[in-house]
Amino acid sequence: MEETTISTLKQWKKNKNKFAVITAYDFSFAKLFYNQGISIMLIGDSLGMTIQGNNSTIPVQVKDIVYHTKAVRKGAPKAFLLSDLPFLSYYNISKAIENTKKIIQAGANMIKIEGGKKILNIVQELSNQSILVCGHIGLTPQSVDFLGGYKIQGKNKDDAMQLIEEALLLEKAGIKMIVLECIPSKLAKKITEKLSIPVIGIGSGKNTDGQILVMQDVLGITEENIPRFSKNFFNKDNSIQKAIQQYIIEVKYGLYPTQKHSF
Protein backbone atom coordinates (compact mmCIF):
# COMPACT_ATOMS: atom_id res chain seq x y z
CA MET A 1 0.00 0.00 0.00
CA GLU A 2 1.04 3.57 -0.59
CA GLU A 3 1.67 5.77 2.41
CA THR A 4 -1.60 6.99 3.93
CA THR A 5 -1.86 10.73 4.66
CA ILE A 6 -4.54 13.14 5.79
CA SER A 7 -5.07 13.97 2.11
CA THR A 8 -5.85 10.28 1.52
CA LEU A 9 -8.51 10.36 4.26
CA LYS A 10 -10.08 13.54 2.87
CA GLN A 11 -10.29 11.93 -0.56
CA TRP A 12 -11.92 8.84 0.92
CA LYS A 13 -14.60 11.00 2.52
CA LYS A 14 -15.15 12.89 -0.74
CA ASN A 15 -15.49 9.62 -2.66
CA LYS A 16 -17.62 8.01 0.10
CA ASN A 17 -15.07 5.23 0.55
CA LYS A 18 -15.71 3.84 4.02
CA PHE A 19 -12.63 2.74 5.93
CA ALA A 20 -11.76 0.59 8.93
CA VAL A 21 -9.54 1.70 11.80
CA ILE A 22 -8.24 -0.44 14.65
CA THR A 23 -6.29 0.10 17.85
CA ALA A 24 -2.73 -1.20 17.87
CA TYR A 25 -0.17 -1.28 20.64
CA ASP A 26 2.83 -3.31 19.44
CA PHE A 27 5.09 -4.15 16.51
CA SER A 28 3.72 -7.59 15.66
CA PHE A 29 0.03 -6.72 15.48
CA ALA A 30 0.71 -3.41 13.73
CA LYS A 31 2.59 -5.28 11.00
CA LEU A 32 -0.16 -7.91 10.72
CA PHE A 33 -2.94 -5.29 10.55
CA TYR A 34 -1.13 -3.29 7.88
CA ASN A 35 -0.34 -6.34 5.77
CA GLN A 36 -4.05 -7.25 5.78
CA GLY A 37 -5.05 -3.79 4.55
CA ILE A 38 -5.59 -1.56 7.57
CA SER A 39 -3.67 1.65 6.99
CA ILE A 40 -5.01 3.73 9.92
CA MET A 41 -4.32 2.71 13.51
CA LEU A 42 -4.94 4.30 16.88
CA ILE A 43 -2.51 4.01 19.74
CA GLY A 44 -5.31 4.57 22.20
CA ASP A 45 -5.31 5.18 25.92
CA SER A 46 -7.54 2.10 25.89
CA LEU A 47 -4.21 0.38 26.51
CA GLY A 48 -4.82 1.25 30.14
CA MET A 49 -7.40 -1.51 30.20
CA THR A 50 -6.37 -3.85 27.38
CA ILE A 51 -2.63 -3.88 28.06
CA GLN A 52 -2.14 -2.63 31.62
CA GLY A 53 -5.21 -4.28 33.16
CA ASN A 54 -6.69 -1.14 34.74
CA ASN A 55 -10.43 -0.49 34.92
CA SER A 56 -10.24 2.81 33.03
CA THR A 57 -7.99 4.93 30.81
CA ILE A 58 -7.18 7.36 33.63
CA PRO A 59 -3.84 5.79 34.77
CA VAL A 60 -2.29 6.02 31.29
CA GLN A 61 0.66 8.40 31.04
CA VAL A 62 2.31 10.17 28.11
CA LYS A 63 5.34 7.88 28.38
CA ASP A 64 3.04 4.88 27.82
CA ILE A 65 1.63 6.37 24.62
CA VAL A 66 5.15 7.26 23.44
CA TYR A 67 6.41 3.72 24.07
CA HIS A 68 3.56 2.02 22.21
CA THR A 69 3.58 4.57 19.37
CA LYS A 70 7.24 3.79 18.70
CA ALA A 71 6.49 0.06 18.59
CA VAL A 72 3.51 0.44 16.25
CA ARG A 73 5.43 2.76 13.93
CA LYS A 74 8.16 0.13 13.52
CA GLY A 75 5.54 -2.45 12.56
CA ALA A 76 3.66 -0.19 10.15
CA PRO A 77 6.07 2.40 8.68
CA LYS A 78 3.60 3.66 6.06
CA ALA A 79 0.41 3.61 8.14
CA PHE A 80 -1.38 6.73 9.36
CA LEU A 81 -1.04 6.68 13.13
CA LEU A 82 -3.31 8.45 15.61
CA SER A 83 -2.13 8.63 19.20
CA ASP A 84 -4.12 9.72 22.23
CA LEU A 85 -3.14 12.55 24.51
CA PRO A 86 -3.95 10.85 27.83
CA PHE A 87 -5.75 12.12 30.91
CA LEU A 88 -4.61 15.57 32.14
CA SER A 89 -1.79 15.77 29.60
CA TYR A 90 -3.32 18.82 27.89
CA TYR A 91 -4.73 20.91 30.75
CA ASN A 92 -3.09 24.04 29.28
CA ILE A 93 -1.55 25.02 25.97
CA SER A 94 2.10 24.70 27.01
CA LYS A 95 1.55 21.23 28.49
CA ALA A 96 -0.39 20.13 25.40
CA ILE A 97 2.42 21.27 23.10
CA GLU A 98 5.11 19.67 25.27
CA ASN A 99 3.36 16.29 25.36
CA THR A 100 2.27 16.39 21.72
CA LYS A 101 5.89 16.95 20.71
CA LYS A 102 6.93 13.73 22.46
CA ILE A 103 4.17 11.71 20.82
CA ILE A 104 4.70 13.09 17.31
CA GLN A 105 8.44 12.49 17.61
CA ALA A 106 7.67 8.90 18.60
CA GLY A 107 6.01 8.38 15.21
CA ALA A 108 2.41 9.59 15.35
CA ASN A 109 0.95 11.48 12.39
CA MET A 110 -1.89 12.94 14.43
CA ILE A 111 -2.85 13.33 18.07
CA LYS A 112 -6.36 12.71 19.39
CA ILE A 113 -7.80 14.88 22.11
CA GLU A 114 -11.10 14.49 23.97
CA GLY A 115 -13.56 17.31 24.59
CA GLY A 116 -15.58 20.11 23.05
CA LYS A 117 -15.73 23.83 23.77
CA LYS A 118 -13.24 23.64 26.65
CA ILE A 119 -10.38 22.60 24.39
CA LEU A 120 -10.95 24.93 21.43
CA ASN A 121 -8.00 27.18 22.29
CA ILE A 122 -5.70 24.16 22.64
CA VAL A 123 -6.84 22.74 19.29
CA GLN A 124 -6.30 26.09 17.63
CA GLU A 125 -2.79 26.52 19.02
CA LEU A 126 -1.75 22.98 18.11
CA SER A 127 -3.12 23.53 14.60
CA ASN A 128 -1.18 26.79 14.39
CA GLN A 129 1.94 24.72 15.08
CA SER A 130 1.11 22.54 12.02
CA ILE A 131 0.10 19.60 14.21
CA LEU A 132 -2.72 17.37 12.95
CA VAL A 133 -5.43 17.09 15.59
CA CYS A 134 -8.29 14.61 15.80
CA GLY A 135 -11.25 15.54 17.99
CA HIS A 136 -13.27 13.12 20.12
CA ILE A 137 -16.77 13.89 21.36
CA GLY A 138 -19.79 11.99 22.63
CA LEU A 139 -18.72 9.45 25.22
CA THR A 140 -15.24 10.56 26.25
CA PRO A 141 -13.63 7.83 28.41
CA GLN A 142 -11.29 10.25 30.21
CA SER A 143 -14.41 11.98 31.58
CA VAL A 144 -16.41 8.83 32.27
CA ASP A 145 -16.80 9.54 36.00
CA PHE A 146 -17.98 13.07 35.26
CA LEU A 147 -20.46 11.71 32.71
CA GLY A 148 -21.82 9.21 35.24
CA GLY A 149 -20.53 6.09 33.56
CA TYR A 150 -20.40 4.57 30.09
CA LYS A 151 -23.66 5.97 28.75
CA ILE A 152 -25.01 6.99 25.38
CA GLN A 153 -24.57 10.72 24.77
CA GLY A 154 -26.76 13.11 22.78
CA LYS A 155 -30.06 11.30 23.34
CA ASN A 156 -32.18 14.38 23.96
CA LYS A 157 -32.57 17.37 21.65
CA ASP A 158 -30.48 19.83 23.69
CA ASP A 159 -27.58 17.41 24.11
CA ALA A 160 -27.72 16.53 20.42
CA MET A 161 -27.63 20.19 19.41
CA GLN A 162 -24.66 20.75 21.72
CA LEU A 163 -22.72 17.90 20.11
CA ILE A 164 -23.43 19.28 16.63
CA GLU A 165 -22.29 22.74 17.75
CA GLU A 166 -19.12 21.38 19.34
CA ALA A 167 -18.26 19.36 16.24
CA LEU A 168 -18.59 22.46 14.06
CA LEU A 169 -16.58 24.59 16.49
CA LEU A 170 -13.82 21.99 16.67
CA GLU A 171 -13.61 21.88 12.88
CA LYS A 172 -13.41 25.68 12.78
CA ALA A 173 -10.65 25.58 15.44
CA GLY A 174 -8.60 23.33 13.20
CA ILE A 175 -9.22 19.62 13.80
CA LYS A 176 -8.69 17.52 10.68
CA MET A 177 -10.69 14.48 11.79
CA ILE A 178 -13.10 13.55 14.58
CA VAL A 179 -14.22 10.47 16.49
CA LEU A 180 -17.86 10.15 17.56
CA GLU A 181 -18.30 7.65 20.37
CA CYS A 182 -21.59 6.17 21.55
CA ILE A 183 -24.10 8.62 20.12
CA PRO A 184 -27.37 7.83 18.30
CA SER A 185 -26.83 6.79 14.69
CA LYS A 186 -29.11 9.53 13.32
CA LEU A 187 -27.12 12.18 15.15
CA ALA A 188 -23.83 10.73 13.91
CA LYS A 189 -25.18 10.81 10.34
CA LYS A 190 -26.14 14.47 10.72
CA ILE A 191 -22.72 15.44 12.09
CA THR A 192 -20.92 13.47 9.38
CA GLU A 193 -22.89 15.30 6.69
CA LYS A 194 -22.26 18.73 8.25
CA LEU A 195 -18.49 18.35 8.55
CA SER A 196 -16.02 18.52 5.68
CA ILE A 197 -13.46 16.46 7.61
CA PRO A 198 -13.44 12.65 7.97
CA VAL A 199 -15.65 11.31 10.77
CA ILE A 200 -14.89 8.01 12.51
CA GLY A 201 -17.56 6.29 14.54
CA ILE A 202 -17.49 3.84 17.40
CA GLY A 203 -20.90 2.78 18.66
CA SER A 204 -22.43 5.54 16.52
CA GLY A 205 -24.05 3.70 13.64
CA LYS A 206 -22.97 2.96 10.09
CA ASN A 207 -23.24 6.39 8.48
CA THR A 208 -19.88 7.80 9.54
CA ASP A 209 -16.97 7.86 7.08
CA GLY A 210 -15.02 5.24 9.02
CA GLN A 211 -15.33 2.84 11.92
CA ILE A 212 -12.91 2.09 14.73
CA LEU A 213 -12.80 -0.86 17.11
CA VAL A 214 -10.44 -2.02 19.83
CA MET A 215 -8.35 -4.88 18.50
CA GLN A 216 -9.20 -7.14 21.45
CA ASP A 217 -12.90 -6.78 20.59
CA VAL A 218 -12.35 -7.52 16.90
CA LEU A 219 -10.44 -10.70 17.74
CA GLY A 220 -12.79 -11.94 20.47
CA ILE A 221 -10.22 -11.55 23.24
CA THR A 222 -12.49 -9.38 25.38
CA GLU A 223 -14.52 -11.66 27.68
CA GLU A 224 -16.15 -9.28 30.15
CA ASN A 225 -18.13 -6.06 29.71
CA ILE A 226 -18.19 -6.48 25.95
CA PRO A 227 -19.56 -3.27 24.37
CA ARG A 228 -22.85 -3.65 22.52
CA PHE A 229 -21.37 -1.95 19.46
CA SER A 230 -18.39 -4.30 19.15
CA LYS A 231 -18.23 -7.42 17.00
CA ASN A 232 -16.04 -10.49 17.21
CA PHE A 233 -14.80 -11.12 13.65
CA PHE A 234 -12.71 -14.13 14.68
CA ASN A 235 -13.95 -17.70 14.87
CA LYS A 236 -12.34 -21.10 15.28
CA ASP A 237 -12.55 -21.81 11.55
CA ASN A 238 -10.49 -18.83 10.40
CA SER A 239 -7.31 -16.95 11.27
CA ILE A 240 -6.48 -13.55 12.73
CA GLN A 241 -5.61 -12.42 9.21
CA LYS A 242 -9.02 -13.46 7.87
CA ALA A 243 -10.78 -11.80 10.81
CA ILE A 244 -9.09 -8.48 9.98
CA GLN A 245 -9.93 -8.88 6.29
CA GLN A 246 -13.58 -9.52 7.21
CA TYR A 247 -13.67 -6.43 9.42
CA ILE A 248 -12.34 -4.28 6.55
CA ILE A 249 -14.85 -5.73 4.07
CA GLU A 250 -17.88 -5.32 6.34
CA VAL A 251 -17.03 -1.68 7.07
CA LYS A 252 -16.31 -0.90 3.41
CA TYR A 253 -19.61 -2.30 2.19
CA GLY A 254 -21.75 -1.07 5.08
CA LEU A 255 -22.37 -4.53 6.55
CA TYR A 256 -20.98 -3.44 9.92
CA PRO A 257 -22.22 -1.93 12.13
CA THR A 258 -25.78 -3.22 11.89
CA GLN A 259 -28.75 -1.87 13.83
CA LYS A 260 -27.99 -4.23 16.73
CA HIS A 261 -24.56 -2.60 17.06
CA SER A 262 -26.04 0.91 17.08
CA PHE A 263 -28.16 3.11 19.30
181, 193, 223, 224: the active-site residue: 181
Determine the residue type at 108.
A
Q: How would you class 90 by CB atoms within 10 Å of its CB: exposed for 0-12, middle for 13-18, buried for 19 or more?
A: buried
Of 147, 171, 170, give the one whose Cα is nearest residue 159.
147
Q: How far apart are CA 67 and CA 210, in angstroms?
A: 26
CA angle in degrees (0–180, nearest 5) for 86-203-79: 55
Q: How far apart are CA 196 and CA 198, in angstroms?
A: 7
DSSP state, residue 227 = -
CB atoms within 10 A of CB 44: 27
Question: E strand or H helix at 217, and its extent?
Answer: helix 215-218
Q: How far apart are CA 127 and CA 158, in angstroms?
A: 29
166 is catalytic: no
Catalytic residues: 181
